[in-house]
Structures are given as structure tokens and as C-alpha cells.
Structure 1
Amino acid sequence: MLTTHTIDTVVRAALEEDAPWGDLTSATLIPVDAVATARLVAREPGVLSGGEVFEAAFRLTDAHISVDLAIDDGETFDAGDVLAVVTGPARAILQAERIGLNFLQRMSGIATLTAHYVAETLDTRARIVDTRKTTPGLRAFERKAVRDGGGHNHRFSLSDAVMAKDNHLAILTSGELSLTEALFEARGRLPHTAHFEVEVDRIDQIEPVLAAKIDTIMLDNFSMEDLRRGVAIVDGRAIVEASGGVSLETVRAIAASGVDVVSVGALTHSVRSLDLGLDIEIVADA
């Protein structure tokens, strides 16, 4: 959940970083009593995400600025559409412009890319989820954008669930216990409500992991043939997640293999910000 407190904390820090002692350019060039009206215009089609964050950038700069959003987060738009109208003191609008756009463009880029992945998997059982490959400090923002694009969120942090990856397993099985025994013993130390996921990168690891009563098994960087074999081996005994090598070109085939979840790090770590612009149309004296 992206709360108002989180939005204001992050946006305020961004505004202070961008204008620690005010906007020297606007203070020099723009009359103090000038009032502006600006339109937020889409330069390309996409899915909106971050409207509340965009509004916060202006609100926290000057409470006299009003932001009228034309569409809600999660809605689609076309190139040329006016997405919002911003009205208020011209200096403050110019000062907040870049921060508001930076957040909105990135979040809308994530939502738009996520929507493309979701569209590729609509007739399969698989859901598209993000990963922890997010921008430090902006995870709640980027996770919200994934949801706005029709995707789902993986565990939010290391505190939310157990997810044993290859390095964990290497250490866990360095003693005398087998993989199954080590996982089963670890499972016994968890509360009954805690979710336990294990990553495997070979077919022969699947049965030993399942024997430990694991909730989710991640098939990491499996070939298409091995993905289908893996799903058949699991046979409903755990949630099956596919990870690694996922792109818009491969996601449909991966989803069609029968997996329940496809995790896509590219949703947040390789996304391109959407092209949105703020066009000032009127500048007048108050």
C-alpha cells in the first residue's frame, strides 16, 4: 500500500534535493505574482500511474497550486491526451514540475510495461509479478505502478516470507543434512502462517524440495521443455513460479507452460520512463 505519509516523505526529500535554497531561475525570471495554467500532455500512449504522487509534488511546493487529474491510476491514454491541468503561482509550478514529472513518468512507464506483459498472458493461468529489483527508497512507488498495470506484487521485503535461493541452499546443505532434511528442519522453525519458497535450477532438485512441504517452488532459468516437465512433476503440490530469461518475446511461452507465477525483474529494473510533458499555456499577473 502506498500511503500519503510515504508519498509526502519521499516527494518532500526529492523537492529539497532539487531546490535546497529555492529555484534560482524562476526567482530571477518569473514575476512573483505571476499565475500559470499548465496541461499535462501525453506524448505517447500508456497506462497512468502516480497521479497522487504528481499532485503531491505541487501541493508540497505551494498549497495554492491545484491539480485536476483527468484520469485515474490504471487507466489507459493515447498520445495527445490531456491527463491533468495544473493551476497556481507560476514560480511554484515551475519549481515542482520536474519532480512531479520524474515520478509520474517512471511510474507510468512501469505500469505501461506491466500491462504489455499482462496482455501476453491473458489466456493462461499465470500472473505477472515484480521482484525486489526496485530503486532503493522507491519500492512502494514502483510496486504500486506494477499493480496499476494489472500485475501483482511479490514479497515486499526480506521480512515478509522465506525465499531460499541458490546461495542460501549452498550454505544450508554444507553440513550433514540432505536438502529435504535441511529444508524440513528450517520449516519447523517458522510460524505456521509464514510462506516458504525455494528456488531450484535443476529438475532433480524438485522432488527433494517438494518432500519438505514447501509452499512455492521457483524454476529458475529453466528451458521451455524443462519448465513443462517441472510443472508436471510438481503436479499441484506447490505453487510454481518461473523466473529468469523473461521478456516480452518469451513471456507468453513461459506462461503457457502451466506455471502459476512469472516473476519479471525488468518491470522495475529496466523500464523506460514514459514521455509526458507539462505545457504552460497561460501566464498572467494575479
Structure 2
Amino acid sequence: MFNKFDTIRPYTKGETCRTFPVYYPPQHQDIQPGMEYLMKPLPVFDDSNYRGSGKLKDKVAIITGGDSGIGRAVAVFFAKEGAKLVLVYYNEERDANDTKDYIERLGGEVLLIHGDLKNKDFSNFIVNETLDCYGKIDILVNNAGVQYFADNLTDISNEQFDYTMKSNIYSMFYLTKAVLPYLKSGSSIINTTSITTYNGEGDLIDYVTSKGAIVGFTRALATNLAPKNIRVNAVAPGPFWTALQPASRKAKDIPTFGSTGPMKRAGQPYEIAAIYVYLASNDSTYTTGQVIHVNGGEYKG
């Protein structure tokens, strides 16, 4: 078990070394999906050693939940690879603007769009705004989501179950359906699912159900779109230090977050972002219908 003085140095000789904490003090936010700027310590979303090589040059990517966490890290890595970005967020205004400013300092282009993905009409708005700004869509990253803990199924209200489903899977269906007519051969759809679908986390029943639906959606859509040469894949993160954690967990549970796996720590968002680059780029032209696991060894599938 790490303590609050521990840090990890994840680079080898010859690389720029940076440290990041693996201890998180008790904290809780009463809003989902959470505000990154309030977190202590802040997540690490960029890797100074990552150098883009134009893998996504002039591609247009829509990323939901792109204001913070994994979505922010993916946006930064996409920008380094030359993509033009549309970042969709709910109400995390400060996080979204911080992400936009950071990417623009890297020389990237960012369009911010805020709204409620549970509203199917909002998906059409996203598509129209993207086409007005950039004229096309090449990549869709369905990453936004919420989670609520409950000890028993009987503790989950019908309203909560409905909210979770609409936030995590209905929203994905709405936006993918709206984007699909504009995707051409070689385009990529990437959906964020979760390790919890595979280990059956018992206190996240509605969340696990929604993430399992994402796996099925990914595989079926991949089969359906393969003749059009549109790839559909998913990424299943394990425990990553994002705003969703203090927004959904009890404060007392935060210090041990991510400590039970083989690597004994939570992941930082930048440690998963390159997987999305792979799935979005021509490196993955023969990869579709797959779920890629990034979880520090917690699940081996």
C-alpha cells in the first residue's frame, strides 16, 4: 500500500521524468460527473514525452465528456496528432475552458459545445455545429457517463436507473445515430465502457448494466458497419483518477481508490489516451468490434 508521500516515476532513462501522486486525501463532490479543478491532487492528463506524428492530421473528432478526465487526456493526445476537436460537456464550464485553453496553447483547434446528451435533439445540434465549423466528422468518441453506488438492487430507485441508462447508453445511441450519416469509409467510433462490466461490481448495478450494454452495442454496430469500412471499438478503463470518483464515492473511500489491483495504484488519464489514438488512427485498420482493457492488471481478458 502506498502512503501520501509516495510518488511514481513511470519513465525510463533518457525520458523526461515526472512524478505523480498515488495517494488521494478524503474528498467528495455533490455533483456528477464532477469538477476536475476541485480535485486534490489534480489528475495527470498530458505526457510531455508523447510526441505526435500526424496520425490524425486534419481529422475531425467529437469527444463527449471531453472537458476532463479520460476525455480531456484523449483530446490532448488527439490534438498532438493533428486532429480538430469538438468537446461536448454538460455543465463543467471551467474544466471545459481550461481544456480548450491548454489545447490551443499546443496549437490545436477546439470547438466547445455544452448541453444534455440525454436529450436526443441535442445530438442533432452537435452534428450541425460540427459540420458548420469543420465541414465533416471522422471520429466519434462516446465517453460521457455517470455512476451511482448502491448497496442493494432495492436501493436503486426507478428514477436513478432510468437516469443512468439515459446518461450512459441512450446518449450514445442518440449521438452515434446522428453522426453516422456523415461518417465515411475509414472513420472510427470509440465507446468507453468499464472494467466493472467484466468483474460485476456489486454496488454499481445500474452502472454495470449500462456499461455492459455499451459492449453489446459496440460489437453489434461493428458487425453492421464493417461493410462500410467504419470501425467500432470500445475501451474498458479500470480505476482511473478522474472527477467521477470523488463525485460518486464516499470521501472515506477515496484514499484506497485503485490500491487493490496488482499495480497497487489508480491510473492517470494520460496512461490510457494513446489507446484511443490507436483506435482512431490508421494503425487500427484491421481492428473492429474489440474491447481493449486498460486496468493495471485488475482484469485479464
Q: Which has the higher strand share?
A: 1
Higher gyration radius (CA): 1
Question: TM exceeds 0.5?
Answer: no
Greater RCO structure (CA 8 Å; 6+ sep):
1
- TM-score of the superposition, structure 1-length normalised? 0.29
